[in-house]
């Protein structure tokens, strides 16, 4: 098994190999998932909820992200490390550049940005400066105040068409990967077919090029929040933490996860 690099993402999509992604926030879990064959490890700003105990991701700082990214980086040898640009750290291209430099210096190979709109300029600005970018569309948790909660996105024709054009736009702006969160299965399938870059789904059905779950959700560790439909506890079937990571990876690669019970139609 070779260590992942950014250009290998497009190769995987072309070859039809599913990408297995999990979130991690520390070196020990990162090491365990790396050993279990997890392809991509995301230091998500979900750490604001599952590690820090906030009820949204908004309080997470760029310094928090850099700290956890450095911790996770020490645990990885093969997986590609992606780190979230937290709320407001990507409000302008210049701020995003500073925050991204800190994440890359901490060991990330790619930064993740929520949204399109004015973020397209930010994506272009970073990519032109040799910083690989993962886009994130659909339910973007940093938009929770505007959205009024964590809900399925792209349910009607107009919002679905907008999501589809936003997906084309982030790829056009230079994103090398796209996370789709909480969108109907058919829409995620259409977006995945539209793009040459891989899509990674979470609550986006089985047709994405890969899947991501939050570590705590996969292990059935309750964060005090309502459990979304797409969450599956793999600890039960895996028998151990390492077994849960392996079971999740196999289920994603075999196309058994997510099934209809863990997707939206």
Which residues belong to the active site?
Answer: 181
Alpha carbon of residue 114 to chain centroid: 10
Give whichever of 23 and 192 is closer to ligand KIV, judged by the CB atom: 23
SS3 content of the chain, % helix, strand, coil (to 5): 45, 15, 40
What sign does the CA torsion over 105, 108, 114, 119 have? positive
Residues 19-78 touching Na ion, rule: CB under 5 A, are: 44-45
Select from Na ion, ligand KIV, none the partner in contact with residue 191, using the beta carbon and a kind-dependent cut-off of 5 to 8 Å.
Answer: none
∠ CA 65-71-74 to the nearest 5 degrees?
Answer: 135
Which one of 44, 154, 201, 205 is in contact with ligand KIV (CB under 6 A)?
44
Give whichever of 187 and 212 is closer to ligand KIV, judged by the CB atom: 212
DSSP 54-102: -SSSTT--HHHHHHHHHHHHTT-SSSEEEEEPPTTTTSSHHHHHHHHHH
Q: What distance in Å separates the CA atoms of residue 17 and residue 184, rounded to the nearest whole number? A: 22
> Which region, judged by CB under 5 A, interacts with Na ion, from 16-24, 79-87, 150-158, 176-184?
79-87
Is 86 a residue that touches Na ion (CB under 5 A)? no
Give whichever of 156 and 175 is closer to ligand KIV, judged by the CB atom: 175
Give whichever of 102 and 135 is closer to ligand KIV, judged by the CB atom: 135
The contact pattern for ligand KIV, residues 232-261, with x = CB under 6 A and - = no contact, is ------------------------------
Q: How many other β-carbons are positioned within 10 Å of the β-carbon of residue 39?
A: 25
Q: What 8-state DSSP symbol labels residue 103?
A: H
Q: How many CA atoms lie within 13 A of 135 on its CB side?
A: 32
Residues 102-161 touching ligand KIV, rule: CB under 6 A, are: none
Residues 47-86 touching ligand KIV, rule: CB under 6 A, are: 84
Which one of 19, 212, 235, 252 is in contact with ligand KIV (CB under 6 A)?
212
Query: What are the φ and ψ backbone dihedral angles of 248, each rounded to 5 degrees?
Result: -60, -45
Query: Which position's Cβ is nearest ligand KIV?
Result: 44
Is 107 a residue that touches Na ion (CB under 5 A)? no
For residue 136, give the 3-state DSSP assignment: strand
Residues 163-192 touching ligand KIV, rule: CB under 6 A, are: 179, 181
Q: What 8-state DSSP symbol labels residue 196?
A: S
The contact pattern for ligand KIV, residues 13-42, with x = CB under 6 A and - = no contact, is ----------x------------------x
Task: Give me the residues that bind ligand KIV (CB under 6 A), please.
Answer: 23, 42, 44-46, 84, 179, 181, 202, 212, 214
């Amino acid at each position: 098994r070779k260590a992942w690099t950014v250009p290998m993402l497009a190769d995987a999509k072309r070859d039809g190999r599913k990408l297995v992604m999990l979130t991690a926030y520390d070196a020990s879990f990162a090491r365990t998932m790396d050993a279990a064959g997890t392809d991509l490890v995301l230091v998500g700003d979900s750490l604001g909820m599952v590690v820090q105990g906030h009820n949204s991701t908004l309080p997470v700082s760029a310094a928090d992200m850099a700290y956890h990214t450095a911790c996770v980086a020490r645990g990885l040898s093969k997986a590609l490390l992606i780190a979230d640009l937290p709320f407001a750290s990507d409000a302008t291209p210049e701020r995003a550049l500073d925050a991204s430099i800190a994440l890359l210096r901490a060991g990330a190979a790619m930064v993740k940005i929520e949204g399109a709109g004015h973020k397209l300029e930010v994506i272009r600005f970073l990519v032109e400066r040799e910083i690989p970018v993962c886009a994130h569309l659909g339910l973007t948790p940093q938009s929770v105040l505007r959205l009024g909660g964590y809900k399925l996105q792209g349910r009607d024709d107009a919002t679905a068409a907008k999501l589809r054009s936003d997906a084309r736009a982030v790829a056009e702006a230079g994103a090398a990967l796209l996370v789709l969160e909480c969108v109907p299965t058919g829409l995620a399938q259409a977006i995945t077919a539209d793009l040459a870059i891989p899509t990674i789904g979470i609550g986006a059905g089985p047709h994405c090029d890969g899947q991501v779950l939050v570590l705590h959700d996969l292990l059935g560790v309750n964060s005090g929040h309502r459990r979304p439909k797409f969450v599956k506890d793999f600890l039960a079937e895996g028998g151990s933490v390492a077994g849960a990571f392996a079971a999740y990876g196999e289920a994603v690669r075999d196309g058994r996860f997510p099934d209809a019970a863990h997707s939206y139609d």
